[in-house]
Amino acid sequence: MIQGSGSNVGKSLIVAGLCRFFTNEGLKVRPFKPQNMSNNAAVTADGGEIGRAQALQAMACNCEPHTDMNPILLKPESEYGSQVIVQGKRFATLHAKDYFVQKPLLLGKALESFSRLKKNTDLIIIEGAGSPAETNLRKGDIANMGFAEAIGAPVIIIGDIDRGGVIAQLVGTHVVISPKDRKRIVGFIINKFRGDPNLFLNGIKDIELKTKWVSLGILPWFQSAWKLPAEDIMDIKEKKGGHIKVVVPKLNRISNFDDLDPLLLEQNISVEIISPGKPLPGDANLIILPGSKSTISDLQLIRSEGWDIDIFAHVRRGGHILGICGGYQMLGNTIRDPQKIEGDITETPGLGLLNVSTTMLPEKKLQNVSGKHISSGTEISGYEMHIGKTIGPDCKNPLLMIDGKGSGAVGTNNRISGCYLHGMFASDTFRSKFLHNLNSISVLSDYQGSVNNTLDELAKYLHQNMDTRQFLNLTRSL
């Protein structure tokens, strides 16, 4: 089990790289994360959803993602509550105190999934969440040491030297956790090192002396990490320099923002993520309204920031707008939530840029789909993950054809459109045609191939900078 000295220390990336390395070595490897918190999710082959990082790790193992790889997924809907996904399906929306009451049940579900996953598998690499040093969360823990203890897994802990204080991170973890948990940690890795690693050898010795843990290596900063899908909103990426500017407002509950990843690899495209407090740039060629875990709440954010005024001005200047999932719902006339699925607001006006309206429904649609982009005739694939049904006159001019039916909507001026399809820009031919309509040329011919090549690069990088043989030996150490 890979745990971290804190959040965002690189656990997901390292697990993905190790999955690819040992898969390339001929082992049957599977990723596992008992509990994840992310609004960036993926649809699985068995019709559920898991964290995007586990889907990437499955890709690293050359296998299809499955709900057993991430049995508990928390999708924050507010500052106080999250939608709880159990083995791929919505279980409930719970506040933190109510979630803790459910932990014994959820641990059982996580163990059930792990038991199925380990059948006919040579190696499972488990990713923790946050840090085991959060001792206030140790009782009933299912994400870190509690799960490791339940299955008897040895633990390797990752320290992030880029944040500073990595010796204190690791030695401090050793000090505050219980003696029983301390013995479960068998090694550590220093991640995100910049400069000459030899300059930190005395630091390694100091950590080893104070913890008795084995060092597995110092990982330099992995320069190609930005080419891989990110899990956490903290990792959302942007890129400037292209002659076509794509602007994306950074919503509080932005979800499935890996929709943007293929555009980041296009050298002619700038992707700018605009944080609250800043206006949407007036020279944008395209505004993308992204997915949202709380559509009505994020629509309120757009209005409170004055971004709606920027969007209307963009339309008057002849700019293009694409709404994806929650962003599609926002473009319509009205959003209704009669069952209060998202909160206490039962109806709110949309931006009124598409002549459609949405009603939130309790059942979530989860499916991988393929079809055709109508105006260009190109094949397209991706996934749908949403609640709500959108209807209206503009749906008679659909953006896509999926399973023989029209999907999405295009406005009367053909510059404003929306749909529920995530991942559309990963379809190379569609992306090329879409960019052509923005007077740009696609230079990326194989997005999925690029991700696969980066995973191979990551596997090689890990093997060069850490002791992968020792890692394998330590999996049998308890």
Angle made by CA atoms 101, 105, 107, in degrees to the nearest 5: 105
Backbone angles phi, psi at 457, to 5 degrees: -65, -40
Helix axes 52-60, 11-24, angle to 10 degrees: 20
CA pair distance 104, 142, nearest whole angstrom = 9
Tell me whether residue 325 is one of the annotated catalytic residues.
yes
Q: How far apart are the first and last CA of the chain?
A: 12
Residue from 226, 254, 252 nearest 240 by CA: 226
- Whole-angstrom CA distances from 13 to 164, 173, 246, 279 are 20, 21, 27, 33
Q: Which of helix, strand or coil describes residue 84? A: strand
Which of 19, 325, 395, 419 is catalytic? The answer is: 325
Sign of the Cα torsion 85, 88, 90, 92 reads negative
Would you list the DSSP string of 87-134? Answer: TTEEEEEEEHHHHHHHHHHHHHHHHHHHHHHTTT-SEEEEB--S-TT-
Residue from 264, 229, 224, 235 nearest 454 by CA: 224
Tell me whether residue 422 is one of the annotated catalytic residues.
yes
CA pair distance 92, 390, nearest whole angstrom = 24
CA pair distance 187, 183, nearest whole angstrom = 10
Ramachandran class of 77: left when φ > 0, alpha when ψ lies in -120 to 50, beta otherwise? alpha
Asked whether 247 and 272 are in contact (CB, 8 A), the reply is yes
Rg of the chain over all Cα atoms, to the nearest angstrom: 23
Asked whether 167 and 203 are in contact (CB, 8 A), the reply is yes
CA atoms lying within 13 Å on the CB side of residue 8: 10
Supply the residues annotated as catalytic. Answer: 325, 422
